[in-house]
Amino acid sequence: MEKVKSKIILLSIGICFLSNSFATTGTTTVEQNAEFQKEADKYKELYEKYQKLADEANQPNVVKNPQTKQEIVDKPTKPDLVEDANTNTSGDTTTAKSKKSDTEYKFVAEPWKGTDFGLGGTIATGDSATTNVNAMSNISYTPFERWNNKAFLNYVYSTNDKRGERAVKINKTQIRGETSWDFTKKNAAYGRINYLNDELSTYDFIFTESVGYKRKVYENDAETMKVELSAGPSFMQSKITGKDFEANEPGFQATFDYVWNFTDNSSFKQNILYNYDKKNRSIYQGISTLSVKVYKNFSLQLTFQLNGTTLVTPGKNNINTITSTNIMYTL
């Protein structure tokens, strides 16, 4: 740019010099005037050329896109014109808190994904007349990426239908609900309730509430396998069969969760819960499920449940198990 300006100045001086030479016609001949005229035209052309270059250098660079045939103006960038990454087009500055909120409240396209309902049972007549009904549901609701809600519901009912000997053999209800908030990728806070009502066990019901900390201790790169642990204080209410009073005691609760989706159409899940109160009474529960997709949204699920306690009445077992098979419909 500086070179162009200096050349323009020299050309201007040359033109002025030649112009002055034309003014002294008395001291020049006609031939000399013709030569001076040629030189003046030459300097004039050079002057116009460098003046044009100087004008283009002062204008923004214009690049034509051969595909869109649009002109793209490349304006000079100044440090004070660079927008901050947190500044929007209207000039408002987005704070770190609002950015975090956008991440936390990002909606999930399929919030009910993973929810399924199942039903199974048998009815036998004749010498071995029995009725067995088993209903199960796994509910999953994730409205935002960091907010997870899940529930497990299971009802098992079985009777002996022999004439004159009709009696209830199993009448059991189990409900578990949990909500958790992931404040990082691996760490979360949870709230959980667990309800067990088994008509033929030591307890009429056992109800626990717990809040605490959950951590994802392992997840593979393909996100097909993960292990989670949780722990926190709890409060347990229970009523022993045949007693008029209820026990209400604080305690501690911990869980272990394992999920393995070993193919696109099959998975294995294991959940273990342990709770004890200040009187050293413990309850422990395990739920194992193996699911295999059989047709579209239908799958076959094998479930094994274990419920145990350290406090039992005479004639009752401290561990009870149920193994069931269900046809599940997945949303």
Distances (CA, A) of 56 to 18, 45, 60: 28, 17, 8
Same domain, 8 and 127: no
Residue bearing the bigger pLDDT, 330 or 98: 330
- Cα angle vertex 302, ends 296, 308, to 5°? 145
pLDDT of 13 reads 62
Residue 82: pLDDT over 50 = no
Residue 267: pLDDT over 90 = yes
Same domain, 148 and 43: no
Confidence of residue 1 (pLDDT cuts 50, 70, 90): low
Name the 3-class secondary structure at 30: helix
Distance of CA 274 to the CA centre of its chain: 28
Same domain, 137 and 53: no
Task: Output the average pLDDT for the chain.
Answer: 80
Same domain, 11 and 152: no
Distances (CA, A) of 324 to 15, 99, 290: 106, 47, 11
Residue 267 lies in a domain: yes
pLDDT of 239 reads 86
Q: What is the pLDDT of residues 13-28, one digit of tens each?
A: 655 555 555 554 444 5
Q: What is the pLDDT of residues 120-135, one digit of tens each?
A: 888 888 877 888 999 9
pLDDT of 7 reads 58
- Cα angle vertex 272, ends 269, 278, to 5°? 165
Residue 81 lies in a domain: no
Distances (CA, A) of 326 to 89, 136, 276: 56, 8, 32
Domain that holds residue 50: 2-64
Residue 238: pLDDT over 70 = yes
Residue 79 lies in a domain: no
The total number of structural domains in the chain stands at 2
